[in-house]
């Protein structure tokens, strides 16, 4: 198939482009490059031996999306493009709603006009909100607690309504847990701009000397070691989950939801210890106050993806840290190195 990947130069996008090419698909990638670099796709081409077509397109520009569909016979779309920082979304809700929702609506309208009705959407475990106990199950009632999370939830609603209105649509809603790690080559990985919001990119920058120490947000949670637990998933496992979801919806129209997680929680200190093992030395940290909005612990029930897609995670937290570290060590300043 020829797959359009929105957000194709980003962290999960670039790893998924590679997995798609390895599975024999052709890729057309689009991105507005606000938070990523085209260098990621040059490196993916080096790994796969196949260049993805790239167009710099912002999804808020509907005519630009139309031009891409007019130029390439697209079979299905994987939709990653979106703003994704929780704190920023609280400060700038209009920017988040405009970018994420308008961009998606434009994309869906163009797809419909061109008769392309297969889409895999990049959702998040954040849609489960605060009220659900772990492990999270796809059938639970969702309800996010910040503007970023609500854009994911609202896009799920839009896609669900679309699937109900027109049975030709094939829709996969993938709820990611905490993606970390990098391709084992160390050539592609996560390259956050500014101060990283997320745990593993922050630890990696401490390890490479770009930050002084890790601040552990809260040591007094009701968890085994007092720090929060999350379900970390290797980005290559995650990328392969997209290929599996695409194969599934190619066979079956409808709207489907799958958790992409390992089914296991790890604490902040456990991840730090794994990263230290990868680096081969202790890393400085300080336990500080809780981060507003953080939940003590959550993880996936990952059994539905296994049953439907035959997909499950295969890579451990140690492997995530080893691969993340290889990428960071070889590229201390990301793609600008």
Catalytic residues: 148
What number of other Cβ atoms are within 10 A of residue 23's Cβ?
15
Both structure tokens of 5: 């990947």
Nearer to ligand UD1 by Cβ, of 124 and 331: the residue is 124
Both tokens of residue 299?
């993880």
For residue 18, give both structure tokens. Answer: 């590679």
Which residue from 15, 43, 79, 230 is in contact with ligand UD1, where contact means CB under 6 A? 230
Helix (H) or strand (E) holding 39: helix 39-48
Q: How far is the CB of 9 from ligand UD1 (least distance, A)?
A: 17
Question: Quick one: which of 53, 67, 162, 215 contacts ligand UD1 (CB under 6 A)?
Answer: 215
176 contacts 124 by C-beta, under 8 angstroms: yes
Among 32, 36, 100, 126, binds ligand UD1 (CB under 6 A): 126
Burial string for 273-296 (b: 16+ CB within 10 Å, else e) reads bbbbebbeeebebeeeeeeeeebb
Nearer of residues 86 and 246 to ligand UD1, judged by Cβ: 86
3-class DSSP state of 126: helix
Among 228, 238, 260, 300, binds ligand UD1 (CB under 6 A): 228
199 binds ligand UD1 (CB under 6 A): yes
Q: State the minimum distance, in angstroms, from the CB of residue 113 to ligand UD1.
A: 31
Binding residues for ligand UD1 restricted to 268-327, rule: CB under 6 A: 268, 291, 293-294
- Residues 178, 274, 328, 331: which binds ligand UD1 (CB under 6 A)? 178
Residue choice 21, 122, 123, 124 for contact with ligand UD1 (CB under 6 A): 124
**For residues 76 and 174, which CB has a smaller minimum distance to ligand UD1 in the complex?**
174
Among 65, 216, 233, 305, binds ligand UD1 (CB under 6 A): 216
Q: Is the peptide bond before 307 cis (omega within 30 degrees of 0)?
A: no
CB of 34 to ligand UD1, least distance (A): 17
Question: Apex CA 194: angle with CA 12 and CA 107, to 5°?
Answer: 40
Q: Which helix (H) or strand (E) holds 220?
A: none
Give how many residues touch ligand UD1 by CB under 6 A: 20
Q: Which residues contact 273 (CB under 8 A, 6 or more apart)?
A: none
Using the contact rule CB under 6 A, the part of the chain among 60-68, 161-169, 213-221, 243-251 near ligand UD1 is 213-221
Give the integer Cα–Cα distance in Å for 271 and 203. 9
Element (H, E) at 240: helix 235-251
Inter-residue contact 205 to 212 (CB < 8 Å): no
What are the residues binding ligand UD1 (CB under 6 A)? 84, 86, 124, 126, 149, 178, 197-199, 202, 214-217, 228, 230, 268, 291, 293-294
């Amino acid at each position: 198939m020829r797959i359009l990947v929105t957000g194709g130069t980003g962290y999960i996008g670039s790893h998924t482009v590679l997995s798609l090419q390895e599975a024999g698909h052709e890729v057309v990638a689009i991105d507005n490059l606000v938070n990523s670099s085209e260098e990621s796709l040059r490196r993916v081409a080096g790994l796969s031996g196949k260049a993805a077509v790239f167009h710099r397109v912002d999804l808020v520009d509907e005519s630009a999306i139309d031009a891409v569909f007019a130029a390439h016979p697209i079979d299905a779309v994987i939709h990653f493009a979106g703003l994704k920082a929780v704190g920023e979304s609280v400060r700038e809700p209009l920017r988040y709603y405009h970018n994420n929702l308008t961009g998606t609506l434009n994309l869906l309208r163009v797809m419909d006009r061109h008769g392309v009705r297969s889409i895999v959407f990049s959702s998040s475990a954040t849609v489960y909100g605060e009220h659900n106990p772990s492990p999270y199950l796809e059938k639970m009632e969702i309800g996010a607690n910040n503007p970023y999370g609500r854009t994911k939830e609202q896009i799920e609603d839009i896609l669900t309504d679309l699937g109900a209105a027109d049975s030709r649509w094939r829709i996969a809603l993938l709820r990611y847990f905490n993606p970390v790690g990098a391709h084992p080559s160390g050539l592609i990985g996560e390259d956050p701009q500014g101060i990283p919001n997320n745990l593993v990119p922050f630890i990696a920058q401490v390890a490479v000397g770009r930050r002084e120490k890790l601040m552990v947000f809260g040591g007094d949670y009701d968890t085994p070691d007092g720090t929060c637990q999350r379900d970390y998933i290797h980005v290559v496992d995650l990328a392969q989950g997209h290929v599996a979801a695409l194969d599934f919806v190619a066979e079956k129209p409808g709207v489907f939801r799958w958790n992409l997680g390992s089914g296991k929680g790890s604490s902040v200190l456990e991840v730090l210890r794994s990263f230290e093992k990868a680096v081969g030395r202790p890393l400085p940290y300080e336990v500080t106050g809780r981060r507003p909005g953080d939940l003590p612990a959550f993880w996936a029930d990952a059994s539905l993806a296994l049953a439907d897609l035959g997909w499950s995670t295969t890579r451990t937290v140690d492997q995530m840290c080893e691969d993340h570290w290889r990428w960071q060590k070889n590229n201390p300043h990301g793609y600008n190195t």
